[in-house]
Amino acid sequence: MNDDLIMSNTPDSDYSKALAEGWIPIREVARMTGVNAVTLRAWERRYGLIVPFRTAKGHRLFSTDHVLRIRRILTWLNRGVSVSQIKPLLDSAPSYHEPADNDWQAWRQALTLAIRELAERRLDDNFNQVMSLYPAQPLCEHLLMPLISELEQHWHGQFGAQLERVFFESWLRSKLGARIYHNNRSLSGPPVLLINQSDRPFEPHLWLTALMVSSSHCPVEVFDAQIPGSELAVAVEQLNARAVVLYSSKPLNLQQLPKLLSAITCPVLIAGPSVSIHNDELAVSSAESAGLSLAKDPIEAHQRLSQLRLF
């Protein structure tokens, strides 16, 4: 039987005081995240993924940070990672917390509101304003990456989430695609080839990487879907690619990786959450292959490509 329910039938002044201070009971956390109480307790007991506050009588209480952590757990689960492998990924994840009164958060709040109201013109106008003020790297690091992270957490278990996701991702692909196309028209030379290696129809961070590379005066080509390894080699040859970025937020087929890499003569960068998922295996592959680099997010991907003197 639910131990939190049993204890809720007995007086607990600590519990009432904690609720008044803003702590959240387990039943409400379950409603907010879509993860039932049994699963939340299992994540605590078996894996230590969440450590809620406990009152003197043992009631579990959660903070808003706990709720955000649960949503990050769901993000990794949706990427195909098993629950037993998630804790180190959570503990090494970058934090985007910033003071509430800074300009970046104000911009994110304005964009978020436009997305939730499906207000494309307002979304576009706000983004055009901030894009006119900041270069691509701080724009991605302080606005778009935290925005995408916050949206992913908000969308878990929320009615209308898929509608918002499709609206936002369609807009973002079109917006960044137009900017990259415009940049490419004024650039020459071999491109960096960026490829979506996951089965997701759209990888936002792939496009953020492409935007930063493009803004560094380097042509880019974006293939927003997987292609067979043999055909990838043809693409690299025909485009005379200066580097290849394989981006995925989901597990990779590591058995095919050596054959894939052997067919590509230019530098290869594996990027995205897949690097954290396969950290040990990919670290070995990187050490064994002089042409292979790793990056966990778009900022690091841009840095790695810069270090290779590709732009």
Domain 188-311: give its CATH architecture: 3-Layer(aba) Sandwich (3.40)
What does CATH list as the number for 3-78? 1.10.1660.10
Full DSSP string of 182-244: HHHHT--SPPEEEEE-SSSS--HHHHHHHHHHHHTT--EEEE-S---HHHHHHHHHHHT-SEE
Task: Give the tens place of pLDDT for each residue, 125-161.
Answer: 999 989 888 889 889 998 999 999 999 988 987 889 9
Task: Give the tens place of pLDDT for each residue, 278-309.
Answer: 988 888 878 777 789 999 999 999 999 999 99
Instruction: Check whether 98 has a pLDDT greater than 90.
Output: no
Give residue 3's pLDDT band: very low, low, confident or very high (50, 70, 90). Answer: low
pTM over 0.75: yes
Fold that domain 94-186 belongs to in CATH:
1.10.1240
For position 7, what pLDDT does the model report? 46
For position 183, what pLDDT does the model report? 92
Please, where in the chain does CATH 3.40.50.280 lie?
188-311
Beta carbons of 240 and 266 less than 8 angstroms apart: no
DSSP letter at 159? Answer: T
Please, where in the chain does CATH 1.10.1660.10 lie?
3-78
3-class state of residue 307 by DSSP: helix
Task: Give the tens place of pLDDT for each residue, 202-259.
Answer: 999 999 999 999 999 999 999 998 888 788 889 999 999 999 999 999 888 888 888 8
Instruction: Check whether 102 has a pLDDT greater than 50.
Output: yes
